[in-house]
Amino acid sequence: SDASYDSNNIFGKILRGEIPCHRVYEDDDTLAFMDVMPQAPGHVLVVPKAPSRNLLDADPTVLSKLMPVVQKLARAAKDAFEADGITIIQLNEPAAGQTVFHLHFHIIPRHEGQPLKA
Ligand code: 5GP
């Protein structure tokens, strides 16, 4: 149901070290890792370590730490992948396409004329 956090989700397991990930950034509050089904090369997911189901229930103090990391990694991805642009995606609830119920931001490098993979 909405607005509840179930720690038995795949990103909760990644944060607890119960399943592996390809880590690209970590600090006290934040973890970033490669998406296993990238929509374009360099597709990264950024998650707060604090439990939030999605943006709708997140504490603004969590967001205030998370968003500078999203910006930093978006800039780094643009340089590393020589991207023309960066798409940021963040989905809330199944009706919007959310499938993993721990808050996350997608960072996806984009190149002119190259649509995202499904
Ligand atoms: P959502 O649709 O909830 O915004 O996106 C969830 C994302 O998590 C998808 O892009 C999916 O490919 C990714 N994902 C699902 N399971 C795993 C996993 O076990 N490891 C990693 N690194 N990404 C995952």
Q: pLDDT 10s per residue in the chain (118 long)?
A: 456 999 999 999 999 999 999 999 999 999 999 999 999 999 999 999 999 999 999 999 999 999 999 999 999 999 999 999 999 999 999 999 999 999 999 999 999 999 999 8
Residue 17, domain member (yes or no):
yes
| Ligand 1, CB cutoff 6 Å, lining residues | 10, 21, 33-37, 45, 91, 97-100
Confidence (pTM)? 0.97
Tell me, in angstroms, the distance from the centre of ligand 1 to residue 35's CA.
6
Q: Does residue 16 come out as left (phi exceeding 0), alpha (psi in the -120 to 50 range) or beta?
A: alpha
Q: What atom of ligand 1 comes closest to residue 97's alpha carbon? A: 2
- Residue 4: inside a domain, yes or no? no
pLDDT confidence of residue 118: 87
Q: Specify if 116 maps to a domain.
A: no
Specify if 53 maps to a domain.
Answer: yes
The CATH number of residue 91's host domain is 3.30.428.10
Please name every residue paired with 10 in a beta bridge, in sequence order, or none if there are none: none
Ligand 1 atom 17, closest CA: 36
Report, as residue numbers or ranges, the catalytic residues.
104
Sheet holding 30-34, edge to edge: 23-26, 30-34, 44-48, 105-110, 85-89
Q: How many domains does the chain have?
A: 1
Query: Atom of ligand 1 at shortest distance to CA of 98?
Result: 3
Domain that holds residue 63: 10-110
pLDDT computed for residue 98 by the predictor: 98
Q: Which atom of ligand 1 is nearest to the CA of 21?
A: 22
The pLDDT value recorded for residue 3 is: 64
Within-domain flag for 47: yes
Confirm whether 2 is domain-assigned.
no
User: Which pLDDT score, from 0 to 100, does residue 2 have?
Assistant: 59
Q: Looking at residue 56, what is its pLDDT?
A: 97
